[in-house]
Amino acid sequence: MEQSAEDYKLIFEKEGVYLHTNAKRSTQDTSIPGFIRIVERAGLPALEWSPLEHDGRNAPAVLYSRKDGDGGEEDTNFDPGYEPDWAVISTVKKEREHVPVKNSGQWAFSLPLSELYSLRRSRFSLGRNFLVLTSRGGHPLPPLHFHRGGTRELLRALQRYIILDPSPLDGRLFLAYPQDSGTLPQSFDRLQFLDDGGNDLVSRFIHDPYATTFGGFSKVTNFFRAALRPPESPIHTRTPQDPSLPPQSDEEPGFELITCGVELGPKPDVTRGPPLDKWEEFLDSEGRVTCPEKIKELVFRGGITHSLRKEVWKFLLGFYPWNSTAKEREDILRVKTDEYFRMKVQWKSVSEEQEMRNSLLRGYRSLIERDVNRTDRHNTFFSGNDNPGLTLLHDVLMTYCMYNFDLGYVQGMSDLLSPILFVTQNEVESFWCLTGFMELVHQNFEESQEAMKQQLLQLSILLKALDPELCDFLDSQDSGSLCFCFRWLLIWFKREFSFEDILTLWEVLWTRLPCENFHLLIACSILESQREELIGSNHDFNTILKHINELTMKLDLQTVLRGAEAIYLQLFLCKELPVMVKQVLGLYVPPSSEEESPDSQASETQRLLSQSQEGAAASNSACGPSCP
């Protein structure tokens, strides 16, 4: 049944609005010209986009349902138009009750204005303006690029039906509210779409990312997300600074680049030091470590000589307390050895008949056996058939399932164990070092993925402060979620660097200097090193993913580490750093708190700053047994 002419009313129409599909298929363009329209269907307003080759009076194929979803049915056959490859795919639902419409093309969409949650306008570099719309169901639409202007007129027309309030968290984000009899319409001037007034960092929450497989970690498919969530704090609109409006024409006024609201100073020069090559000098007569913080600083500055890793890693990962004596460590090893083998016996003694009735244990074993056979087989410690290293890898992971049965085994954990087992070459010690490592990252593997969502959000906050132009570019290519960094954060860059480099990187990160989120600064350092390639080469969503994946084994670790430390010092030295950035870096202390103080971390940072300025020579001369 077709839509009757009486039920359809065109309110607004603008040509020259391009939808960026990021399509992989050679028969499809990545940028499709079309019309943006506001229409009323049976009295209900909707925002619609359709390509030029289709009749604009027909409704599109993609419809966004109301959030309640009662009786709603998900369209499991929805084709996003590209092959998932670390892709972000939104679930598309059908409305229970909607006006009968005809399909008008794969990429067309229709969004009832009552279901519009937010609108974000941006401009990257010297390019054209674009808008990103998000529905109340959490579905971000592809960015709409206005090649011939028209965003101003569109927003005027939208205000006929909805109220647009600026978010206090992002000057470019506007939240949509329905018009009602008790609300006075806000003027277009009040919204300040053309003002440079955004001082706070963007709040972008990633919704339900789920890695369905980590085989080879080259793909993460069906990675669900929602771009935004309602802020908890009430909305406060800004007082307009300039009530004048530019002329209404197709010559679109340029948006000013929004920064984090403060000017960052230059990055300090950072020098890496030599690896820690002395150990006995830091022990007292009973074998206690006299200067744990000094050791951590040296490890952070230069890593550890390979011959010392077997011993020092056990302290960094909590197997041995820093203040333990040599005799106490012997006792700890004996107790931990007994505890390990008691847990190992538990799964070794399970009969085949018992395991047939324990699907969870059976599933863990199957995953472990599959992953063990493809983990670091290029390394001589794990290469070849019937390698004892593979047996140890399998047994330690199975025993960890007994130790933490709630978490069990998740694909990717074998990548965390293999370097530890390679260094310790001991089953018991590698197990307890793994448990210490998992204390730091176990939330990465939890089914809810809350920790991964939080880290991606924190990474976006840091990147927004450091390089808002790069953030705008990624937004324009539907990559603002930074989902391509998922693998980096999940297993701490294990697949991005060589095996030897990972040993150095992890021991640096285990020091927790200069902050607990230093791994996020590592990610920022990599992204900053690639900004010219990403922006200058006109990458789209899929080529961004391809480029990031192709960085594997091509990154210089020492350069990345120097860049990450320089970023931290640059942010630390900024006197007006936004609160959200301080929170990510661990520098924020609530004003009401008098007991806690950032002095301790500040003093550590000052030491790092002085060391980076003094250079490698000063670091080398400081490698003595005495504490500062």
pLDDT along the chain (628 residues), means of 10: 67 84 50 88 89 55 36 35 29 33 60 87 61 80 81 85 77 77 37 35 31 33 32 35 36 38 84 96 96 97 97 98 97 98 96 92 94 93 90 97 93 96 97 97 91 94 93 86 93 96 98 97 97 85 90 96 97 92 92 54 58 50 47
Model pLDDT, residue 185: 37
Instruction: Find out whether 468 and 257 touch, Cβ atoms under 8 Å.
Output: yes
The interaxial angle of helices 557-572 and 499-510, nearest 10 deg, is 20
Backbone angles phi, psi at 616, to 5 degrees: -65, -35
Q: Compute CA distances 71 → 5, 60, 67, 93, whole Å.
A: 29, 22, 11, 11
Residues 169, 172, 173, 179: is their CA dihedral positive or negative? positive
pTM of the model: 0.64
Q: Compute CA distances 63 → 60, 137, 139, whole Å.
A: 7, 12, 11
Model pLDDT, residue 213: 30
Side chain identity at 470, as an amino acid letter?
A: L
Q: How far is CA 183 from the centre of its chain?
A: 38
Spatial CA neighbour of 257 closest among 174, 346, 171: 171
Instruction: Find out whether 204 and 142 touch, Cβ atoms under 8 Å.
Output: no
What element of type H or E holds 16?
Answer: strand 8-20
Cα angle, residue 252 at apex, residues 246 and 255 outer, rounded to 5°:
85
Spatial CA neighbour of 543 closest among 85, 159, 206, 94: 85
Model pLDDT, residue 400: 97
What DSSP string runs through 358-380?
Answer: -HHHHHHHHHHHHHHTTSSTTST
Spatial CA neighbour of 313 closest among 324, 327, 299: 299
Model pLDDT, residue 179: 74
Q: How far is CA 526 from the centre of its chain?
A: 13
Structure tokens at 466: 């450091």
What element of type H or E holds 177?
Answer: strand 170-178
Model pLDDT, residue 599: 53
Instruction: Find out whether 192 and 219 touch, Cβ atoms under 8 Å.
Output: no
Phi-psi region of 234 (alpha: psi -120 to 50; beta: other; left: phi over 0): beta
Q: Which residue has the tokens 């230093």?
A: 518
3-state DSSP assignment of residue 173: strand
Tell me the β-bridge partners of 48.
37, 110
E strand intervals along 29-94 = 31-41, 44-51, 62-63, 73-74, 93-94
Q: Which residues contact 38 (CB under 8 A, 6 or more apart)?
A: 10, 11, 12, 45, 46, 47, 48, 113, 154, 157, 158, 160, 161
